Chain A
Amino acid sequence: AQSVAQPEDQVNVAEGNPLTVKCTYSVSGNPYLFWYVQYPNRGLQFLLKYITGDNLVKGSYGFEAEFNKSQTSFHLKKPSALVSDSALYFCAVRPYGGSQGNLIFGKGTKLSVKP
C-alpha cells in the first residue's frame, strides 16, 4: 500500500536553532511530494513541493526540503527556527498513477519552537 510516514508526533526546537521535520514515503514510481503547514484554527497552507529536478527544494517562510530517493525521504528543514514557525506540519504525496483525486497525507508533526 502506498503511504506517507511522519515518525515524530512532536518536534521541540529552541528559537534560532536548525529544525528538521521528518517524512518518509512508500509509493510506486516517481512520487510528487509536498509539505503543508497548518497554523492554529486555520486550514492547510502549501509550503513547498518536489516534482522533478534538483533534490533540494526551497519554499515559503525560509523552509526547504531534500528529496532522497534512496532513503525514500523528504525531510523539511529550516536553518534557524522562529517562534512563529510553531504549527502542525503535514507531508503529502501524490502516488504514481494517482487519479484525479487524492494526495496521501501523513499524520502530521507538531513543531514547537521555544524562545
Chain B
Amino acid sequence: DVKVTQSSRYLVKRTGEKVFLECVQDMDHENMFWYRQDPGLGLRLIYFSYDVKMKEKGDIPEGYSVSREKKERFSLILESASTNQTSMYLCASRPPDRWDTQYFGPGTRLTVL
C-alpha cells in the first residue's frame, strides 16, 4: 500500500517565519507534487518534481520554494510566511507513466498569524 506522509497535520506560524513542510513517499515514485487547497479555488499546483534535484514551477509558485535531495522526500519551503499563505497543503506522488495512480498525503493545515 502506497503511503504518502506529511510531517504535520496542523501547523501555526507567525508572519515572516521560514516554514518547512515535509512530504515522504515510500513507493520509489519519481514524480512528486505540492498543491494548496482553498475553498472555492480547488487544488492549485505550487511546484512539482520529476526526479531528485529536479523541479518545475506550477501555477502559483510565488512565495514558495522546494527541495528534492532524496527521491522519497519533497519539501515545500515558505521563505517568509505571510497570512495569505494560510491554507491546506497537499503533497502527492506517482510514477511518471501512470496518470491514474496519483497518491495524496493527508494534508497539512497551515495557519499564519
Contact = CB atoms under 8 A, between A and B. Distances in A.
Interface residues of A, number: 24
A4 to B, nearest CB: 8
A105 B100 CA distance: 14
Contacts, number: 63
B74 interface: no
Given A43-B105, A94-B99, A107 B48 contact: no
Interface string B20-45: 00000000000101010000111111
B64 interface: no
A46 B104 CA distance: 9
B4 A100 contact: no
Given A32-B99, A43-B4, A102 B42 contact: no
Instruction: For the complex of A and B, list the 8 residue pairs with the smallest distance between their C-beta atoms, beginning with the closest.
Output: A43-B104, A107-B42, A105-B43, A44-B104, A101-B48, A100-B50, A49-B100, A43-B106
Interface of B: 4, 9, 31, 33, 35, 40-45, 48, 50, 56, 58-59, 90, 92, 96, 99-107
